[in-house]
Every structure is written in C-alpha cells, then in structure tokens.
Amino acid sequence: MSFIQEFKSFAVKGNVIDLAVGVIIGGAFGKIVTSLVNDVLMPPLGWMMGRIDFSEYYLILYRPKDAPHDFPTLEAAKNAGAVAIGYGNFINVVIQFMIVAFAVFLLVKQINRLKAHHEAATAAAAAAAPPPAPPKSELLLEEIRDLLKQKNPLP
C-alpha cells in the first residue's frame, strides 16, 4: 500500500473524523466560555466586589528605573518593561476552566446515562426474544438420530 493510500485510509476512518469535529466544536465552545466569563460573569462579580476588574490585578516583580511608580493597567506595566504576574487573568482562566469542566462532566454523565439505558433496553429485548431456531442441518441430524433410535433401540 502506498503512503498516499495509507494516509487516505487513515484520514477517512470514523474516529479521525469524529476527533476533528470534536476539536472544532471544542474550539468554538472555548470561545463561548471565554466570552461568558469575561463579558457576562466577571463584570457583575467585579461590580459587586467594589467595581473590581479581575483582569487588571497584577503584581509587579521588577520595575525599570525610569518607569513610573504606579501603572494604570497591566498592559501599561508590560509596555514600560516591567515584569508583572497577572494573577487576575489567572482567576479568569480558572473560572473558564471550571465552567468547561462542569459542562464536560454534564455531557459525559448524560452520555453514560443514555448508554446504560440503551444497554438495559438491549438486554431486556434479548431476554424477551425466543432463542433462535437451530440450523436446518441440525434439525435433519436430529431426525436421523430419532429414526435410528426407533429402528435399533439400545438395551
């Protein structure tokens, strides 16, 4: 099998296509969660906590000698050459992760529930179904056996 044919066989397998769809949907879902956290959840949470913008919480580790004492934003600090830890952004990312993890948990829980329901329904249907009829050759052999028993009964 040539390399191109082997790659084509690999690329059109169901699992690869399912994975590609999952990655694309996951990327879109990540953007939705980012917007949910940054644009919907964090502004009211910051407002309730005294008009705090979590994305602007940072800690200056190094300040250049010619830089101002205070920076109005994290971006201004970085542009001035300061070394800063943006822990407010980290808080936002942790909240995003928690939302994604919870959504995936709910999805997996639902899939497992549906899978268990399907397996139970399949088992019930298998138990209710009569056993399959034996093959025709087996029926013929049983008839021959019965005829032989009638002609030559064993003591």
Cβ(96)–Cβ(40) under 8 Å?
no
CATH code for the domain defined by 3-128: 1.10.1200.120
Q: Rounded mean pLDDT of 128-151?
A: 86
Quote the pTM value. Answer: 0.56
Find where tokens 């021959």 sit: 144
Question: Domain segments of the chain: what residues?
Answer: 3-128
Cα three-residue angle 76-77-83, rounded to 5 degrees: 150
Q: What is the pLDDT of residues 72-112, one digit of tens each?
A: 888 888 888 889 998 988 888 888 888 888 888 888 899 88
